[in-house]
Amino acid sequence: MVTYNDDASAPESNGASPVAGVFSTHHKTIGRQYLWLSLASVLCGMVLSTLLRMHTSWPDTAIPFLAGVENTPERYAAVRLLHGSLMVFFVLTAAPQLGFGNFLLPLQIGAREMAFPTLNFVSFWLTVVSLGGMTASFFFPLNTGLNVWLASAVIFSLAALFSAVNFSTTTIELRAKGMTLPRMPVTAWAWFLNAILSLLIFSVLLAGATAVLSDRLLGSNFFSAASFLAHQPQNLVRQGNLPLLWQRLFWYFAQAEVYVAMLPCFGIITHLVATFARKPVWKERLVVLALCGVGLVGFCVWGYHMFATGMNPYAPLVFAVLASSLGIPAAFLLASWVGTLWNGRVQFTTAMLFTIGFISLFIAGGLSGIFLARHDLASAAVSEDFVTGHFHLVMGVAATFAILAALFFWFPKLFGCRMNESLGKVHFWLTFAGVYCIFMPMHWLGLLTQANLLPDAQRVALASAGASIRTLVTVATIWTVTAQSLFVVNFFGSLFGRKKAEENNPWRASTLEWSIASPAPDENFGSEEPAVYRGAYEFAANDAEDFAPQHLSPELLVQKAR
Amino acid sequence: MPGTTAGHDIELIVDKIADNGGGVRPPPGGNGGGGGDGKQPPKRRRPSPKRYYTGIALAIVSVLMFFMALASAFLVRRGGPDWVPVHVPVLMWFNTAVLLASSGTLEMARKRLGLLDAGGFKKLWGVTTALGIAFLIGQVVAWRQLVGQGIYLASNPASSFFYIFTGAHALHVIGGVGALLYVTFRNFEKAQVTRVVGAEVTSYYWHFMDALWLFLVALLYLGK
């Protein structure tokens, strides 16, 4: 294996631990830091969701944390929003794009650093401040909390904009010699396109959040929350119902994040499917076009909604339309994944299992999205079980599976060792079964509540069925969250029990990051500039090896084949 | 790199295989030749300044999007019953002229820099900075005039939009003045870019601020 940095034995503290070089401008350190941030957020978010489910099923039981705040409905709503904020902002948005993207984009395109390291640093720490603010906002009284939450959203948007400028500039300007656009890995394409999309979306969100914040703090008159609340059902409006307002503002942000969260996941999945099926991506250029389509259609639908309502955060949601606008490009991506898997020599590693899990969840969630697109689901409907089940499958859990797949795949490059495969597989199957048991019954629950037209006797029967389904969902939630302890054990066990000298390219992958040592050395490619000779997915291109790495010159490839 | 050095030096008859990526092949010697002997120390060059141009262009797109979003809100909100038009203070037209003039002096300064006339550049660049600061002071005075007329941020939707447009623009101009001062005082011997690049990137942003202001003042004047 030819590498650019044979003699560089990985330094002991390679930023792999969270404490080493906390205030660093280095892209790999920042990428890892984002992942740590996401890990902390996802664990908190999961615990919160369990508490919420337990509260729904057994409202009389004293539940820690919820019991302390006397189980008021406002607190319940606030905890739900905290769960949503942590997951959407700091897991789904942060991990696939900012975590893996920061770490891998320069490596995959053959750069030493991001284009603007200092900006990257600022962006990361703004994200940390925003995480702190959003978490803290739920411990304040509701009125103050809402303001703190909005201010944190402003900071988050600002950080996302800085990152977006950084990512796009890096991709445009810092590609290695020979790394033409068609040769760029689909992952790098996805990060790039997502950065462009974020650049447009987060500027609008920044403007919107600033205006709402100014309304609340300085008394300006951009949007009228009063008229929004006046149009809600009477039982929801009690003295300017703050939880409702807060929930509405949360969705104002979250509906834009559908794309920002999913685009990099599509890239990761395409990349892993090709690598583990040992086949080139089927119709690679069309896949890139489909990714552009996700961004373009997404922005057009969302942008139309935004600009038609004058950015009014209290205008009715278009969540269902947004999700179904993914339809055509997503169908194409699915076709490509299946086409790549077709006749492939599929290797069922843990990363690949999570990848296939993603595809399964994406299909299941996408199918229920078709039902949603038919109904007019105005503002309040978002809390309904059917919608909750739908977006959790397609956005929440599917994206989490992509993150896990990426983590298992790139763990050697990130930390210099592999995670335990057997433990990973057990974790996968438990989680996979668990999430289906949570979110499929949730769809049924949503349908049950729609059955208002039935005669009374049947409704009573359905209501009792609903209660047992609810219990099933709660039990499945506890099951799934418990299963994650396997992941935590695997993660930290691998990290601290790691043996040195992981091979550079354990998965026999073809992109540039696998041409250097594991964990990736500080200088990335050593003293030599990397050069690229071919596309990113040339599997089965050669007799001796079943793949041709991007960095190997044709001369060396021939020599190696002898 | 002992293991690979031999590989670079051996001449191989190359069958043209495995280059169906479709793109341009890297020039010969790019990978193998340079580092093959391992004796040359790695060269420390200034990184290509192109990233700064790309970066500022993308930042401009983002800022533009921010103001377009507010403009859309403005246009949708305009018809409302509680809308009381705000008239653009006369002083703001004067400020507009000041900002336009600053763009002119900025270009003149860059021309001086192109002619390697450091003194002339410094002078004109200083004039630009002063005009930028004068614009900001003028905006503050105009706001005070409005406040004197009893028009506050919270008065009605029109005044809210008036203040947020002019205020957000002023914040962005402060950033521009910061960039002008940076180019003035930065020791470019030690910097990653040359003064020419710094001045050019700053000029893109400054002219954009200028054009944005023309758009905003037209929107506020025509859309009231």
Among A73-82, A312-321, B119-128, the range of highest mean pLDDT: B119-128
Angle at A26 between CA A25 and CA A29, to 5 degrees: 110
Q: Residue A313: closest CA among chain B residues belongs to which residue?
A: B73
Least confident of A23-32, A120-129, A463-472, A517-526: A463-472
Query: Is B51 within 8 Å of A174 when comparing Cβ atoms?
Result: yes
* pLDDT of B86 strictly over 70: yes
Categorize the per-residue pLDDT at A228 as very low, low, confident or very high, splitting at 50, 70 and 90.
confident
CA distance B17 to B4: 21
Least confident of A347-356, A511-520, A540-549: A540-549
> pLDDT at position B167, please?
96
Size of interface A-B (CB pairs under 8 A): 182
* pLDDT of B210 strictly over 80: yes
CATH no. of B63-222: 1.20.120.80
Structure tokens at A406: 């990426």
CATH superfamily of A27-225+239-561: Cytochrome c oxidase-like, subunit I domain (1.20.210.10)
- Residue closest to A170 by CA, chosen among A189, A186, A192: A192
pLDDT digits (tens, 9 = 90+) for A385-440: 777 888 888 888 999 999 999 999 999 999 988 899 999 999 999 999 999 999 98
pLDDT digits (tens, 9 = 90+) for A272-325: 999 999 999 999 999 999 999 988 888 888 888 888 888 888 877 766 666 667
Looking at the DSSP bridge assignments, the partners of residue A539 are A547
ipTM of the complex in this document: 0.88
- Residue closest to A540 by CA, chosen among A493, A508, A516: A508
Categorize the per-residue pLDDT at A373 as very low, low, confident or very high, splitting at 50, 70 and 90.
low
A435 in Cβ contact with A389 (< 8 Å) = no
Residues 195-224 of B with CB under 8 A from A: none
Least confident of A425-429, A455-459, B161-165: A455-459
Q: Residue A115: closest CA among chain B residues belongs to which residue?
A: B51
CA distance B101 to A399: 52
> pLDDT at position A183, please?
94
Between B224 and B137, residue with greater pLDDT: B137
* pLDDT of B39 strictly over 50: no
Is B22 near chain A, with CB under 8 Å?
A: yes
> pLDDT at position A113, please?
92
Categorize the per-residue pLDDT at B68 as very low, low, confident or very high, splitting at 50, 70 and 90.
very high
* pLDDT of A192 strictly over 90: yes
- Residue closest to A213 by CA, chosen among A161, A151, A160: A151
Query: Is B3 within 8 Å of A219 when comparing Cβ atoms?
Result: no
Is B160 near chain A, with CB under 8 Å?
A: yes
A377 in Cβ contact with A387 (< 8 Å) = yes
Partners of B162 on chain A (C-beta within 8 Å) are: none
* pLDDT of A45 strictly over 80: yes
> pLDDT at position A8, please?
34
pLDDT digits (tens, 9 = 90+) for B89-115: 999 999 999 999 999 999 999 999 999
Please report, for residues A210, A527, B54, the alpha-carbon distance to residue A204 in angstroms, rounded to integers and kept in the order given.
10, 42, 21
- For an interface test with A, give the residue of B5, B66, B159 to mutate (most A CBs within 10 A): B66
Q: List the domain boundaries for chain A.
A: 27-225+239-561
Is A531 near chain B, with CB under 8 Å?
A: yes
Angle at A538 between CA A326 and CA A513, to 5 degrees: 80
With 0-12 CB in 10 A as exposed, 13-18 as middle and 19+ as buried, what is A192?
Answer: buried
Between A289 and B34, residue with greater pLDDT: A289
Q: What DSSP assignment string belongs to A420-480?
A: PHHHHHHHHHHHHHHHHHHHHHHHHHHHHHT-TTS-HHHHHHHHHHHHHHHHHHHHHHHHH
What average pLDDT does this structure show over A70-95? 84
* pLDDT of B158 strictly over 80: yes
Query: Is B25 within 8 Å of A178 when comparing Cβ atoms?
Result: yes
CA distance A175 to A106: 8
Query: How far does B201 lie from chain A, in Å, by closest CA?
Result: 14
- Mean pLDDT (chain A) is 85
CA distance B94 to B131: 12
Longest dimension (CA), chain B: 85
CA distance A149 to A133: 6
Which one of B51, B153, B157 has the shortest CB-CB distance to A115? B51
* pLDDT of B25 strictly over 50: no
Q: List the domain boundaries for chain B.
A: 63-222
3-state secondary structure (DSSP) of residue B22? coil
Which residues, including other chains, have CB under 8 Å from residue B202's CB and lie 6 or more apart? B176, B179, B180, B182, B183
Partners of A3 on chain B (C-beta within 8 Å) are: 4
